[in-house]
Amino acid sequence: KTILSIQGAAKALPSRRVSNHDLMQHLDTTDEWIVSRTGIKNRYVVTDETTASLSVDVAKQLIETHNLLPETLDFIIVATMTPDFATPSVAALVQRDIKAVNAMVLDVSAACSGFVSALSVAEKYLVSRTYKKGLVIGADCMSKLIDWQDRSTAVLFGDGAAGVLVEATDTKSSYDYIESLKGVGEMADSLIGGEQVNTSLYAMNKHTLTPYLTMNGRDIFDFVSRTVSKAIKELPSDELSSFEYVVAHQANLRLLSTLSKNTGISSDKFLTNIEHYGNTSAASIPILLADKIEDGTLKLGSNQKVLLAGFGGGLSFGLMSVQL
Ligand code: ACO
CATH of the domain at 26: 3.40.47.10
At which of 135, 170, 205 does a domain end? 170
Answer yes or no: do 290 and 232 share one domain.
Answer: yes
CA distances from 63 to 92, 107, 295 (A): 16, 20, 21
- Cα–Cα distance measured from residue 46 to residue 49, given in angstroms and rounded to the nearest whole number: 5
At which of 170, 204, 230 does a domain end? 170
pLDDT of 205 reads 72
C-beta of 29 in contact with ligand 1 (< 6 A): yes
Answer yes or no: do 142 and 219 share one domain.
Answer: no
Distance 19 CA to ligand 1 centre (A): 18
State the pLDDT confidence band at 10, using cuts at 50, 70 and 90: very high
Atom of ligand 1 nearest to the CA of 284: 50
At which of 150, 170, 190 does a domain end? 170
* Angle of helix 114-127 versus helix 284-294 axis, rounded to 10: 70
Its domain, for residue 52, covers: 2-170
pLDDT of 197 reads 86
Here the ipTM equals: 0.93
In the predicted structure, residue 206 carries a pLDDT above the cut 90: no
Number of domains in the chain: 2
C-beta of 312 in contact with ligand 1 (< 6 A): yes
Lowest-confidence pick of 168-172, 245-249, 286-290: 168-172
Instruction: Specify the amino acid at residue 55.
Output: S
pLDDT of 198 reads 87
Name the average pLDDT for the chain.
96
Answer yes or no: do 211 and 64 share one domain.
Answer: no
The yes-or-no answer on residue 112 being catalytic is yes
Answer yes or no: do 218 and 71 share one domain.
Answer: no
pLDDT of 310 reads 98
pTM over 0.80: yes
The yes-or-no answer on residue 276 being catalytic is no
In the predicted structure, residue 208 carries a pLDDT above the cut 90: no
- Residue pLDDT, tens place only, 36-51: 999 999 999 999 999 9
Answer yes or no: do 37 and 67 share one domain.
Answer: yes
Answer yes or no: do 54 and 195 share one domain.
Answer: no
Answer yes or no: do 32 and 98 share one domain.
Answer: yes
Average pLDDT of the segment spanning 177-185: 97
For ligand 1, atom 49: residue with the closest CA: 312
Answer yes or no: do 27 and 131 share one domain.
Answer: yes
pLDDT of 199 reads 86
Answer yes or no: do 58 and 158 share one domain.
Answer: yes
